[in-house]
Structure 1
Amino acid sequence: MERRSFLRGAVIGTSAAAFGGTLMRGAAYAAPAQPGAGPYGPLGAADANGIQLPSGFTSRVVARSGQRVGSTSYVWHNAPDGGACYADGTGWIYVSNSEISSTGGASAIKFDSSGSITSAYRILSNTNRNCAGGKTPWNTWLSCEEVDTGYVYETDPWGVNPAVRRAAMGRFNHEAAAADPVRRAVYLTEDKSDGCFYRFVPSTWGNLSSGTLQVLVAGTATSGSFTWQNVPDPDGSPTATRYQVSAAKKFNGGEGCHYANDTVWFTTKGDNRLWQLNLATSTYELAYDDSLVPSGAAPLTGVDNVTGASSGDLFVAEDGGNMEICVITPDDVVAPFLRINGQSSSEICGPAFSPDGRRLYFSSQRGTSGSSSGGITYEVTGPFRA
């Protein structure tokens, strides 16, 4: 997988076949990440918030579902899910979805330069099971509905401009989105056991009101080359988008999605995999697969949301598993970064770094109660490597 040298994936063709469901080893593709010593050292004892962290890191609770955020009058939403951070003068904003049926939407918390909460507010209302999403280069938040007829809504993290439904981006079981300013496309995951991986190419970059929805086409192997093919009817009616292109590659439960440096990574929860698309070479491979880790040794299971740090490290949140966020380094080592104790009926959602890279935000969707009304949003501060 070796993210610092992904261009070596350029060698493709019939030799890039897979045997027995695993990658063919050789010069073309690197082996998926394996367990090892993480860059931050072992986890310490649980802190007052029940979070185990490496030495030098601390946590705090910034919001709880059903309770006022800090000293503001705004009540935090239930079932906090996908999120992102935005620079705001000398401070920043953290945006979070609400995965609630019919009344989901999204909210935001504004911080000053010291990290103190200055305000909180709603940026999207009365939408359906807003799960993950993605940040655009023009600083909007794409909030995705995780239902079979779901839409993408483009929202304003500052809460000034009204949210807009972007129907051209397709109507399907949306999960996450990741914008690629080089190819001027937005990649989209689909949370179905036979889901697809899509890209939306706007007619005008920076304007998502019109464009072309395409689906990734590839073989059944776990590595190889890929192409894109137009989805004939993005509205998905009467035929669902994932069934409209017969050669579309199917993925088992698409979840998180992250773009950086001509590469897009996305997770599939049905088979606990992290996939890597090398966009400069139009090749794909496995970056992580828990079934390729020695039995009982996989530190990362229940793969879900994913984000990246400036260091090139990927941070992958678990839905279940040990309730961990694991780090996957550019040297293909996977290790736990943090663990939440006493919340086995929850999942970790919405990992996102503050603009300076010193704070990591995320939520436990159902907290200690195991209910959507028990969500907790956290901040972890510490010596993240640059």
Structure 2
Amino acid sequence: MERRSFLRVSVVGTAAAAFGGASWLNAFSAAADPGDGPYGPLLPADGNGLRLPDGFTGRIVAESGRRVGASDYVWHPAPDGGACFAAADGGGWVYVSNSEVPSTGGVGAIRFAGDGSVVDAYRILDGTDVNCAGGATPWGTWLSCEEVDRGEVYETDPFGVADPIVRPAMGVFKHEACAVDADRRVVYLTEDVPDGGFYRFTPSNWPDLSAGTLEILIGEPGQTSGAVTWARVPDPSAADEDTRHQVDGAKPFDGGEGCYYAAGTCWFTTKGDNRVWAYDADAGTIGLTYDDDSPLAGVDNVTGAASGDLFVAEDGDNLEICLITPDGIVAPFVRVEGHENSEITGPAFSPDGTRLYFSSQRGPSGQSEDGVTFEVRGPFRT
């Protein structure tokens, strides 16, 4: 089957519907604490080095330097941020994955059939620089972010039909991740430097990202809760001055990483101080969802499940994805053994919520050329 025959799609939104309700939002008003997770303890590692709760199974779907399934595509090095997109005809889904390497960077994709088998794999973006994380859009595109000093955002087609488009109006800086807030018609963006900004981009003509207004969050340097505001960044191209330094009072965040939006709240992580933040877009306030060092350390990419659970990947520590439940419990969900010099990247759920994809970016050898992409299947909460 030729990939160009696949129908265009929209990104899955099942998880967002579960993140509503005042009671759920109130549960995240205070930082979460370690506790027993809803799936129970992790069992001994399986043959792929995955420690999972009872009832869950894992498999490897791609390895850097090797062809994916029966396709001609050789899986890229250093797989990083990712997302899943459902086919409009109901015939499966695509998982996209950034490549966090210099100069060649870009994005690869794996097409799955409805039964989860690998149908195809291919490239959707080439020749970009250190593509780290990004974000899925409700109109079915993947925003791939360059994590370099003059990095940009590229809007790509998960099915490889439309050509990728660079979006400089979204700012030229060391991008990490982004999350689309379709309720307010804005996109939130993180910046991976020790004094990075937290941004929002408002397109002039939604959902066209070619032009619009870039703003940066305003708040006190040490502020961890309370009201915040936004101010326009005068020059998103950063021709003469870095975007984060153009506005007085911009609140610095210590190494912005993953970013995820659902039902009025945008969660984002900062690796420098190991925090998970929550921006309440309705109230215009920030708060801390997680502010501890165990069991979750090296916070990085973040996504959400239909149950309302947040899944946060670790860069370092003991290489886990931990979940944060709506009732404020933090617990490990999966641990990757034997990959001590790697990091966990790209967590994303399949359209039906029964499969979680993620990568060990540098695999067992600790080298970018040894990345491994996994699928975990099981009885995820709904």
1:302 to 291, 298, 310: 298
In structure 2, the residue matched to 1:21 is none
Sequence identity percentage: 63
1:259-298, Cα deviation, whole Å (9 max, x unpaired)? 000000000000000000111101110000115xxxxxx1
Please state whether the residue corresponding to 1:5 is helix, strand or coil. Answer: helix
Equivalent residue letter for 1:334: V
2:211 partner letter: S
Cα 1:260–1:136, aligned 2, differ >3 Å: closer, same or farther? same
Letter in 2 for 1:325: I
TM superposition outliers: structure 1 runs of 4+ over 3 Å: 2-9
The amino acid of 1:221's aligned partner reads Q
Distance, in Å, in 2 between the alignment partners of 1:3 and 1:221 is: 26
Report Cα offsets for 1:122-174 as digits up to 9, x if no partner.
Answer: 00000000000000010000000000100000000000111000010000000
Correspondence list, 1:268-307, <5 A: 268-290=270-292, 298-307=294-303
347, 364, 381: which is aligned to 1:351?
Answer: 347
Report whether the alignment pairs 1:204 with 2:205.
yes
Count residues with an aligned counterpart: 360
Q: What does residue 98 of structure 1 align with? A: 99
Maintained 8 Å contact 1:217/1:228 = yes
Q: How does 1:92-171 map to 2 (within 5 A)?
A: 92-171=93-172
Q: What secondary structure, in the 3-state scheme, does the structure 2 residue paired with 1:235 have?
A: coil
Distance 1:152 1:329, change over 3 A: same
Query: How far 1:205 sits from its partner (Å)?
Result: 1.1
Distance 1:356 1:6 in 2: 22
Compute the displacement of 1:5 (Å).
3.2
Q: Which amino acid aligns with 1:40?
A: Y
Distance 2:223 2:188 in 1: 21
The one-letter code of the counterpart of 1:262 is G
RMSD: 1.3
Q: Which residue does 2:76 correspond to in 1?
A: 77
After superposition, the Cα gap between the structure-2 partners of 1:3 and 1:320, relative to the gap in structure 1 and judged at 3 Å, is: farther
State the alpha-carbon separation in 1 of the partners of residues 125 and 190 from structure 2. 21
Q: Distance in 2 between matches of 1:214 and 1:121?
A: 35
1:40 aligns with 2:39: yes
Look up the match of 1:314.
310
CA distance in 2, matches of 1:352, 1:97: 13
Give the AA of the match of 1:320.
G
> 1:12 corresponds to which residue?
none
Amino acid paired to 1:278: D
Gaps of 5+ in 2: 1-19
The alpha-carbon deviation at position 3 of structure 1 amounts to 8.2
Contact 1:6 1:278 in 2 (8 A): no
- Equivalent residues of 1:3, 1:331 under 8 A apart: no
Relative to 1, partners in 2 of residues 1:372 and 1:355: Cα closer, same or farther, differing over 3 Å? same
Partner of 2:337: 341
In structure 2, distance between residues paired with 1:153 and 1:160:
15
Deviation at 1:6, TM superposition (A): 6.3
Q: 1:375-386 maps to which residues of 2 (within 5 A)?
A: 375-386=371-382
Residue type of the partner of 2:240? P
String of CA shifts for 1:47-76, please: whole Å, max 9, x gaps. Answer: 000010000000000000000001111100
Contact 1:3–1:312 (CA under 8 A) maintained in structure 2: no
Q: Is 2:24–2:326's contact at 8 Å kept on the other side of the alignment?
A: no
The alpha carbon displacement at 1:4 in A equals: 5.1
The answer on 1:325 being equivalent to 2:324 is no
Which amino acid is 1:181 matched to?
A
Identify if the C-alpha distance between structure 1 residues 6 and 37 changes in structure 2 by more than 3 Å, giving closer, same or farther: closer
Contact 1:7 1:281 (8 Å CA) reproduced = no
Alignment partner, residue 14 of structure 1: none
Q: Which moved more, 1:219-228 or 1:95-104?
A: 219-228
Unaligned runs of 5+ in 1: 10-28, 292-297
Report the secondary structure of 2:369's partner residue: helix
Q: Is the 8 A contact 1:187 1:199 kept in 2?
A: yes
Q: Distance in 2 between matches of 1:115 and 1:368?
A: 25
